[in-house]
Structure 1
Amino acid sequence: MNYYVFLSFLATIVVVTLIFGKLTAKKASATYSDFYLSGRSVKFFSLMMTLLATQFGGGAIIGSSEAAYTSGWLAMCYSLGIAIGFIILSLGIGGRFRTLNISTIPEVFEVAYGSSGLRRFAGLVYIVSMFLILLAVCIAMRKFFYSIGFTSDALYVGFWGVVIIYTMSGGLSAVIMADTLQIILVLSLFLLVYFTMDASSLTLNTALTPNASSIPVISWILMPCLFTIIGQDMGQRCFAAESPRAVFLATFGAGVLMVIASLFPVYLGIMGAEAGIIKGEEGIIMRVIQMVTNPVMSSLFAAGVLMAITSTANSLLCSISLNIAMDIPFIRNMPETSAKWVSRAVTFVVGMAAVAGSYLGSDVIPIMLEAYGLTVTAFFVPIVMALIYKRLSWFAGLASTIMGTTVFVLATLLNPELPDFMPKEVLGLVLSAIVFLVVQGRAVRSKNMKMIELKV
């Protein structure tokens, strides 16, 4: 690698993103809506780019390439699940979220079910699960710095500090501006590397045999798909869109681009396996790139990967901060005049906690999948049903949430032998749906049970 090229490129991006934070700071200072939802005025192209940037990060690049090294093209399951989630959002769910005029996904429980208690519980679970995903992204970032030769943590901590600073300064507006620039650069650099690399320079030694059984296909497709539909990071962007039509176009476009962009990292992982490369601690993707390109191209590719990871990290950081500010009552009830310092203080604390927590683990996709599973099994059914039914039983939402949460927690702790077609997440979703439909059906027939009519 050419470290001069890498650091120069990185320094340029750092300066530009800090400028973005400065430019958007004034607009983001007025209210929580301005800071976290960019005034609900995000247009189609910027929305599509930030949606893609949020998902095309450590999991889709580093995690998928590592999985492809051992399991071949089945590693596409993770990115395919996210892309399917985008397409489902484009079919009307994303636009429906926008018409609710809410700020967080847990707020659905208060608007649709009339339950502030469920909203508080959902908010806490969302904060925990999103933070676990942020930890996984930070782990991916730290490991990536190690993989390109920066074994000292100074650059990792300093770079993450920059991410925190510009997210604190400009909120979602700064994040979207940075995401748009970074994802365009990432896709351009990936295309450049693909068309200039020399795959023939890899000598086929003892090729590794793909082990398809190492990937739980159903979980790898289903959990990212469903979490994309109800995840706070995706919801925040739908809420911030200028219109439901912008949501439709942006989510569909992001789904198509997600599949196309993810092919390259998976391909690199497969190339490494076919060449019999021993990946070691630094991972496979940079080992392959350094063997098939020159030092300058390797440096640019490394910068592109780092930008992709950063885009995911800052989006998660902003989304977690939104959940904390809007779903924890004593913070939400603070006067609007406190929005400027509260939103920034929360963002700073979450960011620093993620840096510290990234030293406690080493896996990426497994952590993400557990976080996805908890949120999906607990809340997917009641949230989606809130977009379908015009009148809802608050007890149906409560019973469904309790069932999904209980199944996931017990299955995680007890680890029972379940058939491949019925992992714990699917079992939790099925039982949660059954409970919801039974209770909702009884509520419709009963004149005594309180019903909430959803108005949008």
Structure 2
Amino acid sequence: MFSSQEQSILGGIVIFYFLFLFAISFYINKKSIKTYDDYNVAGRSVSMFPLILTFLGTAIGGSTLLGFMTNGYNFGMGQHWLNFSIFITGVFMMFFFLKKIRAYGEKYDMVTIADYTTLRFGEGARFPTVISILIAYCAITGMQFIAIATILNLTVGISITAGIIVSWIMLSIKTYYGGMKSVIWQDAFHGTIQTVGIFILFIVVIIASGGWSQISENAAALGEGANLSVFSISTTEVLVYLLTIGGYQFVRQDLWQRFWAAKDVKTASIGYWISIILALVTGIFVIMIGVAGKYGLDMGEINPTLAYYAISEHVFNFPMVIVMIIALLATVISTADSFFMAGASSIVNDVIRPRMEVQDDRKLLKYSRLSVILVSLLALVLALYIPNLVDLWVTGTAMLVSALVAPVTFGLFWKGTTKIGGTVGMWVGLFVAVGWQLTGHPFGIHPVFLGLPISIILTVAISLMTQSKNAKGQLEKAAL
């Protein structure tokens, strides 16, 4: 795709870019990161502009830019349901969840979702929450390793496996030093680059394709006009996207942490609302670029997984291709380090901290950094095991949704949810989803179609059965 000279130039730029980001992380580490809260929730003082862009930078990752475009190229406009699923649940999150989550975080100085589930359901809920978070976030972090590996494969010419290992090393070192403060400020920079880059690519591709009417004619001539309909997708696929990638929005630890990192609830609300609209528009553009690339550009046969690179190279000269590679790097990195932090927070806050006799802030900061390394190792294994972007994303989110969505949602909105109901719902939902995944989806049933309903039923049923016992116990205590 690129000549050896072009590969050398691109490789040098990629290396320089990582060194630049590492320098920023190291600087912020020296100047601003003094406490455990600084490292994990940016001191709970983030203002509007960086908050909007860190929401956006985290939402639009390698799986979105590369995976969405590949799916759009392969399967057509029906893949918008990937994007709609995120937006629909994002709207629910905005209007029904955000203020409750923020209020709990402010009152109890929460750092992770397990802080909430433990408060609501007792210490027995902490462990299944941590396992679910780690499975999901290690999988999603692994996605970013794969995305960067494809960039390195094309720019430097190294294998995907070697690229995954190199990206693991570079991202781990950068995140180890920077913490959440570095992540958020770099996301502000990355979010700007990726949004402008995707918008420019969309406009140029549509013009180069001759407009949407020409794209429609070309698709019809190939007998694939149905692929231009948003309904060119099965109901099962839509439900999988809604229940996994969509449902995951309710229990995204990185999202909860940003609600808590904002300087106030108004900043969190406005910032999140703007970001989900921008993310929706960006996702629409990305999928339409993939569709237009297939039916509007005369590129011949290409590898669909390389659609982003092939389309960029087809419509731009080499200097602009460099800009698009930087936009892609910005997109991937802004997501990767955010998920690093979300997973690492669970280890230090929910596994190490409760076992410390003395809450020493310096030790917690040290353990936070070491937790980043542990998360990176788990993510590396998953990236090597499932080297497919969207599959890895759906797999990770299915585990998280099956375990946490029902107990967390009922816990927030139904006072009758009991400790044992929530905890059993978590454990069984998680075990069913993981077991079904490991056995290879028997009968073609996706794990989330079993794990989530079972978790809902058990959370509700056991809560109803144990409510009277809880009430009786409280009355007996009151009598004493």
Q: TM-score, normalised by structure 2?
A: 0.83
Look up the match of 2:293.
272
Q: Which moved more, 1:134-143 or 1:157-166?
A: 157-166
1:137-216 superposed matches below 5 A: 137-148=144-155, 150-151=157-158, 160-197=168-205, 199-200=208-209, 207=222, 209=224, 210=227, 212-213=233-234, 216=237
Q: Does 1:59 align with 2:78?
A: no
Between the aligned partners of 2:233 and 2:156, the Cα distance in structure 1 is: 31
Between the aligned partners of 1:394 and 1:331, the Cα distance in structure 2 is: 19
Match of 1:415 among 436, 441, 446: 441
Between the aligned partners of 1:196 and 1:72, the Cα distance in structure 2 is: 19
Displacement after TM superposition at 1:112 (Å): 0.9
For the 8 Å contact 2:416–2:463, the answer to whether it is kept is no
Q: Does 1:448 align with 2:461?
A: no
Query: Per the alignment, do residues 145 and 208 of structure 1 end up closer, same or farther by CA in structure 2, a change over 3 Å counting?
Result: farther
Displacement after TM superposition at 1:329 (Å): 3.7
Q: Deviations over 1:230-271 (max 9, x none)?
A: 111212212222222222112211110111111222122212
Match of 1:33 among 28, 32, 37: 37
Unaligned runs of 5+ in 1: 452-456
Q: Which moved more, 1:186-195 or 1:410-419?
A: 410-419
Q: Does 1:307 align with 2:330?
A: yes
Q: Which moved more, 1:294-303 or 1:144-153?
A: 144-153
Q: Does 1:124 align with 2:131?
A: yes
Q: Deviations over 1:114-171 (max 9, x none)?
A: x212202211221122101111221122123324463357777556544333322221
1:271-350 superposed matches below 5 A: 271-274=292-295, 275=298, 277-280=300-303, 283-329=306-352, 333=356, 335-350=360-375
Q: Which amino acid aligns with 1:314?
A: D
Look up the match of 1:133.
140
Between the aligned partners of 2:94 and 2:35, the Cα distance in structure 1 is: 29
Between the aligned partners of 2:387 and 2:440, the Cα distance in structure 1 is: 23
RMSD, aligned CA: 3.1
Look up the match of 1:45.
49
Query: Per the alignment, do residues 353 and 435 of structure 1 end up closer, same or farther by CA in structure 2, a change over 3 Å counting?
Result: closer
Look up the match of 2:244.
223
More helix per residue: 1 or 2? 2
Q: How many residues align?
A: 447
Q: Which moved more, 1:281-290 or 1:135-144?
A: 281-290
Of all paired residues, the percent bearing the same amino acid is 19
Look up the match of 2:478.
none
Q: Does 1:69 align with 2:94?
A: no
Displacement after TM superposition at 1:103 (Å): 0.9
Q: Which moved more, 1:237-246 or 1:330-339?
A: 330-339
Q: Does 1:259 align with 2:266?
A: no
Q: Which moved more, 1:439-448 or 1:67-76?
A: 439-448
Between the aligned partners of 1:33 and 1:330, the Cα distance in structure 2 is: 13
Look up the match of 1:438.
461
For the 8 Å contact 2:128–2:426, the answer to whether it is kept is no
Q: Does 1:87 align with 2:108?
A: no
Q: Which moved more, 1:223-232 or 1:269-278?
A: 269-278
Query: Per the alignment, do residues 207 and 9 of structure 1 end up closer, same or farther by CA in structure 2, a change over 3 Å counting?
Result: farther
Q: Which moved more, 1:264-273 or 1:153-162?
A: 153-162
Displacement after TM superposition at 1:25 (Å): 1.2
Classify the secondary structure of the residue corresponding to 1:150. Answer: coil
Q: Which amino acid aligns with 1:368?
A: W
Between the aligned partners of 2:70 and 2:444, the Cα distance in structure 1 is: 26
Q: Which amino acid aligns with 1:136?
A: M
Q: Which amino acid aligns with 1:232?
A: Q
Q: Deviations over 1:176-224 (max 9, x none)?
A: 0111101101111222333445524999698584473598111113311
For the 8 Å contact 1:147–1:282, the answer to whether it is kept is no
Between the aligned partners of 2:406 and 2:378, the Cα distance in structure 1 is: 31
Q: Which amino acid aligns with 1:192?
A: I
Between the aligned partners of 1:32 and 1:391, the Cα distance in structure 2 is: 34
Q: Which amino acid aligns with 1:415?
A: H
Unaligned runs of 5+ in 2: 476-480
Between the aligned partners of 2:305 and 2:59, the Cα distance in structure 1 is: 23
Q: Which moved more, 1:171-180 or 1:215-224?
A: 215-224
Query: Per the alignment, do residues 191 and 405 of structure 1 end up closer, same or farther by CA in structure 2, a change over 3 Å counting?
Result: closer
Look up the match of 1:454.
none
For the 8 Å contact 2:149–2:163, the answer to whether it is kept is no
Between the aligned partners of 1:31 and 1:394, the Cα distance in structure 2 is: 32
Displacement after TM superposition at 1:314 (Å): 0.8
For the 8 Å contact 2:353–2:364, the answer to whether it is kept is no
